[in-house]
Amino acid sequence: MKVVAATFVKSATEAAHYPPPSLPEVAFLGRSNVGKSSLINSLLGVHGLARTSNTPGRTQLINFFEINGELRFVDLPGYGYARVPQAVREQWRPMIEGYLRHRAALALCVLIVDARLEPQSLDLVMQDWLTATARRFCVVATKSDKLSRSRLAARLTALRRVYGDRVLPYSSLTRAGAELVWETIRSALVD
Ligand code: GDP
């Protein structure tokens, strides 16, 4: 997709503050520091729209971005940062669950994982949860540039054993994989 306009719409913590569900939405979720902001920025070809390298776990907001007046990207707060205070963690769950469970405009979830790592327990919880709620989702394995070609192939095989064929390798550094991720987004929007 050629991105001609990408703008921040608003932040929200609860449904009453979401923008009207007038456009299909693609939600991004993953552990803190997995590379979520970098993925969003590099898919859109803009720097600094989604903030990168925040203090992990501190941004506890759902951020909505509008693209080409056609769709929205929804940046969900990263999970799993151990040093986040309990009180913040308790806010996280209803915020994410409320969005994922009830948002009618949600067309696709993008679960972001680190291409170098074994599936992490919280990612598996999230996968189960997306499956249980019958949400359409893909898995983007990012930071692929940090692996040799053969190592990446081995890691993808291992990840696909767990997540199925929906695993897409990606690098925010080189944008390798961007076309396939966009294709996945496009097909979710037309179905
Ligand atoms: P977030 O907390 O999930 O939004 O993670 P960020 O996007 O802030 O990324 C965390 C760190 O990983 C930053 O230092 C990024 O520059 C780095 N990073 C993210 N994606 C990639 C990638 O695809 N390749 C490489 N080499 N570094 C990445």
pLDDT for residue 58: 53
pLDDT for residue 124: 95
Centroid of ligand 1 to alpha carbon of 61 (angstroms) = 19
Return mean pLDDT, the chain.
92
Q: Which domain holds residue 170?
A: 6-190
Q: Quick check: is 62 in a domain?
A: yes
Complex ipTM more than 0.85, yes or no: yes
Q: Quick check: is 1 in a domain?
A: no
124-183: per-residue pLDDT in tens? Answer: 999 999 999 999 999 999 999 999 999 999 999 999 999 999 999 999 999 999 999 999
Q: Which atom of ligand 1 is nearest to the CA of 31?
A: 3
What band does 55 get if pLDDT is binned at 50, 70 and 90?
Answer: low
What is the domain count for the chain? 1
What band does 92 get if pLDDT is binned at 50, 70 and 90?
Answer: confident
Q: Quick check: is 42 in a domain?
A: yes
Centroid of ligand 1 to alpha carbon of 14 (angstroms) = 27
Sign of CA dihedral 95, 100, 105, 108: positive
| CATH number of the domain where residue 93 is located | 3.40.50.300
Mutate to test the pocket of ligand 1, among 39, 42, 52 (most ligand atoms within 8 A of CB): 52
Centroid of ligand 1 to alpha carbon of 37 (angstroms) = 7
Distance between CA 135 and CA 28 in Å, rounded? 13
Q: Quick check: is 149 in a domain?
A: yes
